[in-house]
A and B are shown apart, each in its own frame.
Chain A
Amino acid sequence: MAPSQTRWKRLRRSRRIEGRETIVATIWFCFVAAILAGYVVLDGFDLGVGILHLWIARDDAERRIVLRSIGPVWDGNEVWILAAGGTLYFAFPALYATAFSGFYLPLMMVLWLLILRGISVEFRSHVTGTIWPAFWDAGFSFASLLLAVFYGAALGNVVRGVPLDANGRFFEPLWTDFLPRGQTGILDWYTVLVGIAALAALTLHGSTWLAYKTDGGLHQRALRVASALWWAVASLTFVITFASFRVLPQLLQNFRFRPWGFLFPLLAIAGLSGIKWFVHCEGGRQGIRSFVSLPAWHAYECGLQPLSQRSARQHESALQPHNFKCEGGRLRP
Chain B
Amino acid sequence: MKFYVKAPRLQPIIVMHAGLGSVSTAACLAPPRGAMQDALTVHRLHFAFTVTFHYIFPQLTMGLALLILILKTVALRTGNEMCNRAARFWAKIFGISFTIGVVTGIPMEFQFGTNWSEFSRSAGGVIGQTLAMEGVFSFFLESTFLGAFLFGERRLGPRGHWVSALMVFLGSWLSGYFIVVTDAWMQHPVGYAMGADGSFQLRSFWDLLLNRWGLWQYAHTMTGAVQTGCFVMASVGAFYLLSKIHQDYGKLFVRTGVIVGLIAALVQLFPTGDGQGVMIAKDQQITLAAMEGLFHTQEAAPLVLIGQPDVANERLDNPLKVPQALSFLTYRVWSARVKGLDDFPRADWPDQIELLYYSYHIMVGLGTIFIAILLIAAWQLLKGTLFNYDITLWALMLAMPFPFIANTAGWITAEVGRQPWLIYGLMRTRAGFSPLVSAGNAWFTLLGFFGMYTILAILFLFLVYREIEHGPEPNAMEAPAAFAAD
Contact = CB atoms under 8 A, between A and B. Distances in A.
A91 B485 CA distance: 38
- Most A CB contacts (10 A, CB to CB) among B132, B140, B197 go to B132
Given A101-B117, A115-B104, A119-B99, A75 B448 contact: no
Contacts of A114: 103, 106
Given A93-B125, A101-B434, A111 B136 contact: no
Contacts of B436: 101-102, 165, 169-171
A67 interface: yes
A132 B110 CA distance: 31
Contacts of B16: none
A89 B147 contact: no
A85 B452 contact: no
Contacts of A98: 117, 121
Interface in A285-333: 323
A64 B441 contact: no
Interface string A273-292: 00000000000000000000
B105 to A, nearest CB: 9
A1 B41 CA distance: 58
A131 interface: no
B426 to A, nearest CB: 15
Contacts of A85: 109-110, 113, 135
A96 B132 contact: no
Interface in A50-99: 64, 67-68, 71-72, 75-76, 79, 82-83, 85-87, 89-94, 96-99
Contacts of B448: 108, 112
Nearest to B122: A93
A125 B150 CA distance: 14
B112 A89 contact: yes
Interface string A163-188: 00100011100000000000000000
Q: Is the interface of A mostly helix, strand, loop or mixed?
A: helix
A125 B437 contact: no
A119 B456 contact: yes
Given A96-B113, A99-B113, A89 B484 contact: no
Nearest to B126: A90
A126 interface: yes
B203 to A, nearest CB: 14
Q: What's the interface size class on B, roughly?
A: 35 or more
A121 B143 CA distance: 14
A126 B459 CA distance: 11
A89 B113 contact: yes
Nearest to A122: B99
A83 B437 contact: no
Contacts of B197: 323
B132 A87 contact: yes
Given A71-B486, A90-B125, A79 B135 contact: yes
A6 interface: no
A72 B147 contact: yes
A123 B466 CA distance: 13
A107 B112 CA distance: 12
A88 to B, nearest CB: 8
B433 to A, nearest CB: 9
Contact of B110 (A72, A107, A124, A127): A107
A161 B103 CA distance: 30
A123 B459 contact: yes
B445 A96 contact: no
A119 B459 contact: yes
A328 B459 CA distance: 50
Contacts of A104: 114-115, 434, 437, 441, 445
Given A86-B135, A119-B99, A97 B109 contact: no
Contacts of B124: 89-90, 92-94, 96-97
Interface residues of A, number: 49
B414 interface: no
A86 B128 contact: yes
Contact of B486 (A97, A115, A122): A122
Contact of A126 (B118, B147, B463): B463
Interface string B91-103: 0000110011011
A269 interface: no
Given A85-B110, A171-B437, A76 B143 contact: yes
Given A67-B485, A112-B448, A93 B123 contact: yes
Nearest to A79: B140
B144 interface: yes
Contacts of A119: 99-100, 103, 456, 459
A319 to B, nearest CB: 16
Chain B CB count within 10 A is highest, among A92, A93, A107, A124, for A93
Nearest to B131: A86
A257 to B, nearest CB: 30
A243 interface: no
Most buried by B among A72, A90, A121: A90
A100 interface: yes
A72 B129 CA distance: 28
Interface of B: 95-96, 99-100, 102-104, 106-107, 109-110, 112-115, 117-118, 120-125, 127-129, 131-136, 139-140, 143-144, 147, 151, 197, 199, 434-437, 441, 444-445, 448, 452, 456, 459, 463, 466, 481-486
26 contacts: A68-B484, A71-B485, A71-B486, A72-B147, A82-B106, A83-B136, A86-B135, A89-B128, A90-B128, A90-B132, A93-B121, A93-B125, A93-B199, A97-B121, A101-B113, A104-B114, A104-B437, A105-B445, A108-B448, A111-B110, A118-B103, A125-B482, A126-B463, A127-B463, A170-B436, A323-B197
| 4 smallest beta-carbon distances between A and B, as pairs | A93-B124, A100-B113, A90-B128, A86-B132
